[in-house]
Structure 1
Amino acid sequence: MTIDLTSATPAPATAPARANDPRQAALLAVFGMVVLSFIDGFVPVIARDVGLWQFHATRSAMVLACLLPAAVVLGWRVRPVSIGAVAVRSCLVAGSMLLYFAAVAVLPLAQVAAGLLTAPIFVLLISWGFFGAQIGPWRVLAVILGFGGVLLVLRPGGEGVSVLTFVPVGAGALYATAAVATRQYCASESEVTLVAGFFGAIGLCGVAGLAVLSGSDSPPAIDGFFASGWQPWTGPALFWTAAQALVSMIGIGALFRAYLLAEASHVAVFEYTFLIAAGVWGYVLWGQVPDALAVLGMVAIMAAGVVIIKRSGAA
């Protein structure tokens, strides 16, 4: 999954004029979030047979094999304006998604989504701490509300809590750092460049992970999704990895189109559909039912994110 949460910081004043269709943009954003959350729900199926690194290396190869020829045919610009900035941004997003998918394999999907969607909170804190952004009382309260929601979802000190429980929040923090880097250093890059850079980076991470774990021939059921080396492909694992590649491109494409049709602050609010859809798919696919406190925490995280995004142009 890839979600554009960069809208938590103000857009550049020189942004080009775009078509304005907020209703279609909202529908596209909701569609993108629903299909992305659906396909992410099948990561546990993949994790039964192959490891995290094999999954990412193969999925990235599939995506790039489709994206790069399409870019040549359609004339999309892939070459970065700043190779260094795109490389750093791509590594940050790749790190975030490695943590996200590692968590999705073993934790309830809604819980992982809640952790990832803390990104706007971290964007605000990074923008304030490192770039002197003025945040004002409303967004301070939103940060407090959001972290209160995280505590309700994760419940540190409760039964069944481990280091892995906090991995989704780490994914959100890394994604937030990438979001700030995108705004500050990659504003001139095309969306195709950023997508290709991300899949290239996470694909290389997959290859590197497989190289390090080349001596491990135990399946994920024994070594775990994160520590498993190359495994023989099974039909279900290969099918759902290919489905991940295809559906991810469709979902991300819908989201990118939404950002072309309406203001970023309008579209970003609908990205929180991902958290709602993740809860629904988690129940439909796996019977995962968050308790009342977890639901309250997710609502708090969504409310905090919406406040931060909608007030991103005010102090």
Structure 2
Amino acid sequence: MQLIAAFSALPAPVRATLLMCSAMVFFTSMGIFIRLASEHLHVLEVVFFRNFLAVVLMAPWIMRQGLGALRTERYGLYSLRAAINLVAMAAGFAAITMIPLAEATALGFTAPLFATIGAVLVLGEVIRVRRVAALVAGFVGMLIVLRPGMEAISAGALLALGNALGISVTALVVKKLTATERPEAIVLWMVLLQSPLSLVPALFFWTWPDAMTWLWLFCLAGAGTLGHMCWTRACGLAEITQLQPLEFVKLPLIAVMGFLLFGEGPTLWVWLGGAVIFCSTAYISHREAVMARRKAREAAGR
């Protein structure tokens, strides 16, 4: 209790930074647990258990809040988000088992690039020269990681990009949901809907986990749930543009973990391309925040 009180007494930007760093640690560790669990289970089973065990871990919150906390009028958006996110999750989990963890992480930084393109095509947002240039730079960074022409693009890399594309689409859906829904409800509805959806394909490859694999699966579900909770609470304390630079922490973290546990050393191309992708997405987020504040001031002045 004293620790919680001390944390609550910290300034909001400090709390947001600590929560975001915690989220990055949890999200990074997910890749390790996915790799370890998939050594004994098919990746589609791992996807199912990630969702189902997250429901189990969130059961105390449901009992404390009551079923009324899940009341919503946006079942369509929740269902759309779950379907797309499940496909993206399966692609991302499979990619982690096929390519080095650092490469999968670097390619995952492309999600905001796809989200920006989606906002233009779907939401009709207007982007100007500087954001277009940042988009181009981001995709150049992607090519640096993939190095087409120097070597064949692997199936794992394509799956990692498919995961980033799916995440970008769900980000647009979540952006609409956050206008009316609680962060905990958004996370819970995701795993509630994805659990039965992911069970169907998992049954075709079903084998029961052994004791050690159960441990990795619970760690995976716990890390994912805690990561989402920390991330959503951090975003409630500070602007995303202030927090996004901390996302690059995932690359050195996963590089160290991958080297220590699996002997994987990221190449110079992964570091360079990942940095280029990240800088471009950070700039795009910054410009979006600047434009949003400008529009808010203009609206207030009318």
TM-score, scaled relative to structure 1? 0.82
Q: Name the counterpart of 2:21.
A: 30
Which residue identity is paired with 1:88? Answer: L
Give the 4+ runs in structure 1 shifted more than 6 A.
none
Displacement of 1:185 in angstroms is: 5.3
Question: Is the Cα–Cα contact under 8 Å of residues 142 and 277 in structure 2 kept in the other structure?
Answer: yes
Which residue identity is paired with 1:24? Answer: R
Which runs of 5 or more residues in structure 2 are unaligned? 1-9, 292-302
1:42 aligns with one of 33, 39, 64: 33
Higher share in helix: 2
1:251 aligns with one of 208, 227, 239: 227
Which residue identity is paired with 2:240? Answer: A
Partner SS, residue 73 of structure 2: coil
Which residue identity is paired with 1:118? Answer: T
Q: Name the counterpart of 1:52.
A: 43
Q: Name the counterpart of 2:155.
A: 163
Question: Is the Cα–Cα contact under 8 Å of residues 134 and 284 in structure 2 kept in the other structure?
Answer: yes
Partner SS, residue 134 of structure 1: coil
Aligned ranges 1:126-145 → 2 under 5 Å: 126-145=118-137
| Count of equivalent residues | 281
Which residue identity is paired with 2:281? Answer: G
Which residue identity is paired with 1:87? Answer: S
Which runs of 5 or more residues in structure 1 are unaligned? 1-18, 214-228
Q: Name the counterpart of 1:207.
A: 199
Displacement of 1:295 in angstroms is: 1.2
Which residue identity is paired with 2:57? Answer: C
Q: Name the counterpart of 2:184.
A: 192
Q: Name the counterpart of 2:103.
A: 111
Displacement of 1:176 in angstroms is: 0.6
Q: Name the counterpart of 1:282.
A: 258
Q: Structure 1 residues 130, 61: CA separation in 2 closer, same or farther (over 3 Å shift)?
A: closer
- Give a deviation string over 1:43-68, Cα, whole Å, max 9, x none: 22211111122222223222112213
Question: Is the Cα–Cα contact under 8 Å of residues 33 and 219 in structure 2 kept in the other structure?
Answer: no
Q: Name the counterpart of 2:272.
A: 296
Q: Structure 1 residues 242, 113: CA separation in 2 closer, same or farther (over 3 Å shift)?
A: same
* Cα distance in 1 for residues equivalent to 2:190 and 2:18: 25
Q: Name the counterpart of 2:55.
A: 64
Deviates more, 1:175-184 or 1:259-268: 259-268
* Cα distance in 2 for residues equivalent to 1:20 and 1:124: 31
* Cα distance in 1 for residues equivalent to 2:127 and 2:206: 47
- The Cα RMSD (Å) is 2.0
- Give a deviation string over 1:249-296, Cα, whole Å, max 9, x none: 222222122112112322233223223322222222222112212211
* Cα distance in 1 for residues equivalent to 2:230 and 2:177: 24
Question: Is the Cα–Cα contact under 8 Å of residues 80 and 86 in structure 1 kept in the other structure?
Answer: no
Aligned ranges 1:228-267 → 2 under 5 Å: 229-267=205-243
Aligned ranges 1:210-221 → 2 under 5 Å: 210-211=202-203, 213=204
- Give a deviation string over 1:137-193, Cα, whole Å, max 9, x none: 221111111101111111223435323321111111111111112223552122122
TM-score, scaled relative to structure 2? 0.86
Displacement of 1:33 in angstroms is: 0.5
Partner SS, residue 216 of structure 2: helix
Question: Is the Cα–Cα contact under 8 Å of residues 44 and 106 in structure 1 kept in the other structure?
Answer: no
Q: Name the counterpart of 2:300.
A: none
1:99 and 2:75 equivalent? no
* Cα distance in 2 for residues equivalent to 1:139 and 1:261: 26
Q: Structure 1 residues 254, 313: CA separation in 2 closer, same or farther (over 3 Å shift)?
A: closer
* Cα distance in 1 for residues equivalent to 2:63 and 2:75: 19
Partner SS, residue 80 of structure 1: coil
* Cα distance in 1 for residues equivalent to 2:259 and 2:153: 21
